[in-house]
Structure formats: C-alpha cells, structure tokens
Amino acid sequence: MIKTASTLILIVLLQSAPVQDPTAAMVGRLDLAKYKATIKGLTQFGDRRQGTDRNRAAIDWIETQLKSYGCTNTERIRYEYTGQQIRPATPAGTNRGAPPVGAVRPTPPTIEGGGRPRGVRSATGVNLNPELQADLTLREINAQPDMPGPREEVFCTKIGTDRPQEMYIVGAHMDGHGYGEAANDDGSGTALIMELARIFSNPDVQTDRSIRFVLWNNEETGYQGSLAYIRQRQSLQGKESPAGSGKYPEPKWLGMIQHDMMLFDHGAPRADGSISKEQRPEADVNVEFQVNSKLADQSQALAWIFEKANEKYAADYPAAIGSHMTNTDSGPFQDLIPAISLREAERGTQIGLGWDPQWHQPTDVFATYDDKDFRLGLNAAQTTLAALAQLAGARLK
C-alpha cells in the first residue's frame, strides 16, 4: 500500500497522542454539586426511618433516580421485619419493653473486632425524643412511628460485557433515625452509591464484570436488609437463567464494598468533650476490613486496592487502612466474600467514642455540613469509582 503524505501525518499524530486513562475520565465525571444535590434530595424524606411511609417514599424516589440515570434494570428485595425501633407511648406515658420516649439510648456495644477504645471519649447515643428537633416542619415529617411488616430495598446492576457472571457489590444503607435528616448517616453513603450508578450507567461506559448498586434498608435495626439479600440470593450465584441465555440474575460475588457515614472527620473530642467545627486538614477516608473474619487476607488485599486507587485518583483526602470493620452492612458478608467498608472515621474506636456529635441526632441535617465535609464524601466516591473501574475492567467506547 502506498502511503500518502496525509496518511503518514495521521499515523504520526495517532502515535504521539496521549492514551486516555478511562478511570481518570470517569472519576472526572464526579461532581460536588451533583453529590450534594443527591444528598439534599434524600433529606426531603427526613430520617427515613424503616417501617414508615417516609422510608417507602424514599425507596421509590431512589428507584426513580436510578432509572433516570440509565440504570433501568432496578429490582427490589422484599422481606418481613417484625420488630419496632420506637414503640408508641402508652397512655401512662411510658413504653413497655422499650426506653421511654425522650430517653437517649446508650450506644450498643460494637461487635467483636470493633477495636480497643482509647483517648478522650464524648457522650454518644440515639436520640429518641422528637421534641429535640427544633425544625417544626422536619419534626412533622418524622412524626410517623415505625410499624412491623413488609420491607423493601432497591438495587440495579451494570451488566458486564465479557464476564457478566461475576460481580462486585457496592452498597450503602438508606434508612436512618434520630429525628434529623440522616444527611450523613447514611444519606452521604446512599448518594455516593447513586452517583456511582449514574456514571457507570453512562452509555459510553462498558465493564468486563458486573457491578451491583444496592441501597440497603433496616441497617439501623441490625442489618435485616443485607441479611435478607444473602438469604434470598446467595444460592443463585453464577447460575445462568434461562439456560443458554447468557443472563445471570445473580452473578458470582467477587467482593462487597459498603459506604456508611462519609462526611465528618473533625478529629477527636477535646478534653471538655467539644468537637472542632472545621474539617481537620489531616482528614482521611477510612477503608476497613475485619481482621478476625474468615477471609481477612482477601479483604485486606481488596482494601489495599482501594488505597492505591485513592492515591492515584482522589483529589484531596488520602485513604487509611484499618482492621476493625464493624457495625455496618458489610459485616454479614465478611465470612462469605472479601468485604470492606469506607467511612469518615474508624467506626469502633472513633465514631463510637464521640468523634461525630451528629451521629443519630437531630443535628444530622444537610445544613450542618459545609463543602469541606461534602468534599470528603466526594473523595470517597472518587476512591471507590477508581477501584471499581479497575476491578471490573471499565473502558470508554
């Protein structure tokens, strides 16, 4: 073939053009304003306490948003929860078998492996008193008590093109409590997962492996949503249905990544119990695995992949690896598959000791946080998106 001058020039240009990094391009699509807007959208449903109309309305809203992003293959897990977080007061003004309305429930002990408490401690607990919410409109939104009965949670899936029978699960819990807006716990994690679903659902994004985006319910009552998912779908892993269709309703689980409270890393309590109002310069994204789980080595290896992704692609805040993952929806998976969680601070030894005064309180509202706080959550999103893009084999068409 005779090469013309123009052909030779084109060849030289193509050879000298920088190769686009698809991971960097996808991370660049994350946007602070969109992340904040999604958290703000979730706060219209108050604390989204499980077993209430506001929780059910939030699930419908999440599903509508996912579909609008192009993640149209949404599904729901359905299960029963017979418990009740807060029992209505009796005529005598007390709750039989539950703390009285207005009491502050002590923080439950962390599960084994939560870490040894050290340093200054500040009071923590769960606000059960609606009267402590000064915003009357928000108090009204959160007025309905939870009732036992059917529960639902929504998920959608990015289908892999080369290995659709294998899948990473990324999740956050969408329920909250405390009579606030659950903006951080866990609107920040829910919005993060929704933003990842938005970007991976772009029509020019392809992945070798599948990714499932799950918004758990009932985390605050003991992980009933994630446990229901495991009960209903674990045995379906990797099974083609219908046979010969190339479709896998439940691809084989390769790893589970949870996101729970992403915004507030203002440091340890001072000697008087007060907390700095400013995000600390040394804030970081905590990536945790469970050191005494059956798959601790594999989970730790997964955590280091996220640390390396953070080092290369996150804009502002570094990642720190911890060995005490506890009290979140990755726990039920930890002996089944490699499992990690991303957080604003260590769950057992920091959040549990009062590092976040908004935790389960009426002050967990959107207005409490500033852009430095929201940017920490965005950096967690950058970290997970970059790691998932590499793990799932993402590319741009």
Q: Is the pTM of this model over 0.85?
A: yes
Query: Minimal CA–CA distance to 129: which of 97, 177, 184, 82?
Result: 177
pLDDT at residue 120, rounded to an integer: 74
pLDDT at residue 299, rounded to an integer: 98
On whether the CB atoms of residues 203 and 70 are closer than 8 A, the answer is yes
pLDDT at residue 354, rounded to an integer: 92
Q: Is residue 10 part of a domain?
A: no
pLDDT at residue 289, rounded to an integer: 97
Q: Is residue 275 part of a domain?
A: yes
Q: Return the CATH number at 140.
A: 3.40.630.10
Tokens 């909250």 correspond to 176
On whether the CB atoms of residues 246 and 240 are closer than 8 A, the answer is yes
Tokens 């962390």 correspond to 110
Q: What are phi and psi of 108, to 5 degrees?
A: -65, 150
Q: Is residue 5 part of a domain?
A: no
Amino acid at 301: A
Q: Is residue 309 part of a domain?
A: yes
Joined together, the tokens standing for residue 205 give 């994004």
Q: Which 8-state DSSP code applies to residue 333?
A: G
pLDDT at residue 123, rounded to an integer: 79
Q: Is residue 6 part of a domain?
A: no
What residues make up the domain containing 144? 20-396
* Block mean pLDDT (10 aa), the chain, length 397: 49 53 98 98 98 98 98 98 79 38 40 68 88 97 97 98 98 98 98 98 98 98 97 97 94 98 96 92 97 97 98 98 96 98 94 94 98 98 98 97
pLDDT at residue 95, rounded to an integer: 35
Residue positions counted in the chain: 397
User: Between β-strands 252-259 and 339-343, what pairing exists: parallel, antiparallel or unpaired?
Assistant: parallel
Q: How far apart are CA 215 and CA 190, in angstroms?
A: 7
**Domain count for the chain:** 1
Helix (H) / strand (E) element for 215: namely strand 209-216
Q: How far apart are CA 300 and CA 229, in angstroms?
A: 24
